[in-house]
Amino acid sequence: MIFSSFMLSISHTSEMMQNKMMILTITTVPVFDNIDYKDRVLCNIHSGDCEVFYSGQNQGRMDNQLTEAVANHDTFRVYHRRNNKVDYIFLGETNLSDIVHYRKTAIGENTSEEERLQIHLYFPFNKIINRQLATTYNGAGKFKREIFRQEGLSMTNNVNIGFYQSPVSQQNG
């Protein structure tokens, strides 16, 4: 099963730092192969396990936040949807992540998709939630605002940017 957009929220749980959450949003067209560098959610129809592949930003200005989250084995909470006209689905959370490949060009330079950072997240079957959100909001950004509410983030966040970071006292799932 492949979805066209998803949202990652990354919970930083290192004992050395304050508990933080970062949310990243992605919108893309469906991808039907494993060798492409596009963002995608792939689910195994036999085992029920899922994998998420995420390519970093075009200019990579915030990619370090993703590489640090992978290095720290932080928890990734993933929201996905088929297109930008429907509610998100909470896929689940995992701290099973690795880097497929690092960015191949300097930060600040435009890149092709295959030159960007790419991370891989693995969700065992028992970590899959697949809970549909039902937004109670109207207007532009209504679907992201529902995720902000679910994750305890400020409703004043700009829904048009990709990263959201905020201290979090507890995770909602």
pLDDT in tens, 10-58: 554 444 444 455 555 555 544 444 556 677 888 888 888 989 888 888 8
Report in angstroms the alpha-carbon separations of 152 from 2, 36, 65, 89, 112. Answer: 28, 34, 20, 17, 34
Let me know if residue 50 belongs to a domain. yes
Let me know if residue 42 belongs to a domain. yes
For residue 127, what are the domain limits? 5-167
Let me know if residue 172 belongs to a domain. no
pLDDT reported for residue 19? 46
Question: How far is residue 23's CA from residue 35's CA, in Å, rounded to a whole number?
Answer: 25
Let me know if residue 161 belongs to a domain. yes
In the chain, the percentage of residues whose pLDDT exceeds 90 is 29
**pTM for the full predicted model:** 0.78
Number of domains in the chain: 1
Let me know if residue 63 belongs to a domain. yes
pLDDT reported for residue 35? 55
Is the pLDDT assigned to residue 2 strictly greater than 50? Answer: no
Confidence of residue 3 (pLDDT cuts 50, 70, 90): very low
Let me know if residue 61 belongs to a domain. yes
Let me know if residue 24 belongs to a domain. yes
